[in-house]
């Protein structure tokens, strides 16, 4: 098997898994218990949280543990909207957001909130001129993804934050799910930011929401003590420790990992350029980890299945997107619905080898000629 779907899920690092297991065995008590075992667990949870915060350049009190980025996005968007409804009900986002953002916005829209979606330029970036035009006194939230999961566009978070700062009652949420370990994070002017361990070689089931200190949001889970008033539930110390370990490695090894992935990306792009019917959808400046392509006239699901039969794993859109619909991100940059229906994503890792790229290219060549022959 050749796995090229690392943007959907990454394998847990064995060293990270070992830390999870050791932590779970060493700290058996609830960190909120007042006895000596609980106090030991609470002290370790505090150490872990301080380490995570230090690496991100934020304060420990600004870290909220969640089950993943989807929960973190829900908590941020709904939590901000609900406490700000006395100010206004206008929210701005983009067409590129993850389904957990899009669905949260739909729920809020049903509750009377007004949602505006920014246009996306041909480079995959949100239209900042339109953002300036849409912002108004009753705008309470702007939500953008730092890195698009389908085409890899890096959004100008710094510039967006500068624009939003001019509206004191407006909050900025950044979905950094695809950004950690792939590009530098920007916190200045950001009110909330979501991420999850399973995108950078940690376990599934643990994510976090950065919430700027002093910002009040409405909790989405009622009852049950935790490390914060904003997210109830027994603190998951083992998972938090695993998040810390995977984040530490992702940030420390980021330059070397990116260099290796860039090498693989360049090899892939150069080889695929030789095929006349291949179209590249990822814009210049996208993270090298994501390469979105289309084969003219061949639906993405057909090409994905053909590659899967050859033992190659790629994805059609985000793993959390609806089947049978064109990629919103690819349609936004290409303005071509047929092309968006033909688009699929190769996502690379520092674990990917040159031999696997060789294997992928051999499988691609077979599928390319077979499928085009059937069409003709």
Catalytic residues: 320
CB count in 10 Å sphere of residue 17: 17
- Count of C-beta atoms within a 10 Å radius of residue 300: 25
- 3 vs 286, 310, 321, 359, 364, CA distance in Å? 21, 11, 20, 11, 14
| Number of neighbouring beta carbons within 10 Å of residue 256 | 10
Q: Are the C-beta atoms of residues 115 and 141 closer than 8 Å to each other?
A: no
| Helix boundaries (H) for 60-199 | 69-83, 99-110, 128-134, 157-164
Q: 253 with 350: CB under 8 angstroms?
A: yes
Task: Give the Cα separation of 69 and 249 in Å (integer).
Answer: 19
126: left (phi over 0), alpha (psi -120 to 50) or beta: beta
d(CA 348, CA 73): 25
**DSSP per residue, 284-331:** TTS-TTEEEEEETTS-HHHHHHHHHHTTEE-BSS-TTSPTTS--HHHH
Structure tokens that stand for 120 in this block: 């996306």
Instruction: Give whole-number Cα distances, 138 to 81, 95, 115, 135, 275, in Å.
Output: 11, 21, 12, 8, 50
CA end-to-end span of the chain: 30
From residue 54, alpha-carbon distances to 45, 49, 51, 72, 321 in Å are 14, 8, 5, 20, 34
């Amino acid at each position: 098997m050749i796995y090229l779907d690392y943007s959907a899920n990454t394998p847990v690092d064995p060293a990270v898994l070992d830390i999870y297991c050791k932590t779970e065995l060493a700290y058996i008590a609830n960190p909120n218990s007042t006895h000596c075992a609980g106090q030991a667990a609470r002290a370790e949870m505090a150490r872990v949280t301080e380490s995570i915060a230090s690496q991100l350049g934020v304060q420990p009190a600004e870290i909220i543990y969640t089950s993943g980025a989807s929960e973190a996005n829900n908590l941020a968007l709904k939590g901000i909207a609900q406490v700000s409804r006395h100010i206004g009900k206008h929210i701005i986002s983009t067409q590129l957001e993850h389904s957990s953002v899009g669905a949260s916005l739909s729920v809020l829209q049903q509750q009377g909130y007004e949602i505006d979606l920014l246009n996306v330029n041909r480079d995959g970036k949100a239209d900042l001129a339109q953002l300036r035009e849409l912002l108004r006194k009753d705008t309470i939230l702007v939500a953008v993804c730092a890195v698009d999961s389908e085409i890899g566009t890096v959004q100008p978070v710094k510039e967006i934050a500068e624009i939003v700062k001019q509206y004191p009652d407006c909050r900025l949420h950044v979905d950094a799910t695809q950004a950690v370990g792939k590009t530098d994070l920007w916190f200045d002017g950001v009110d909330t930011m979501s991420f999850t361990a399973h995108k950078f070689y940690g376990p599934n089931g643990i994510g976090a929401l950065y919430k700027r200190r002093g910002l009040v949001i409405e909790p989405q889970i009622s009852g049950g003590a935790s490390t914060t008033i904003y997210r109830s539930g027994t603190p998951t110390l083992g998972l938090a420790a695993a998040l810390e370990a995977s984040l530490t490695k992702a940030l420390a090894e980021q330059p070397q990992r990116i260099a290796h992935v860039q090498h693989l990306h360049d090899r892939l792009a150069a080889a695929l350029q030789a095929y006349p019917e291949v179209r590249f959808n990822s814009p210049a400046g996208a993270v090298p980890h994501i390469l979105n392509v289309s084969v003219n006239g061949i639906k993405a699901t057909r090409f994905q299945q053909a590659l899967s039969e050859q033992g190659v794993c790629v994805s059609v859109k985000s793993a959390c997107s609806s089947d049978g619909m064109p990629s919103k991100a690819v349609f936004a940059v290409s303005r071509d619905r047929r092309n968006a229906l033909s688009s699929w994503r190769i996502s690379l890792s520092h674990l990917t080898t040159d031999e696997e790229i060789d294997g992928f290219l051999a499988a691609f060549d077979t599928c390319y000629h077979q499928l085009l022959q059937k069409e003709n």
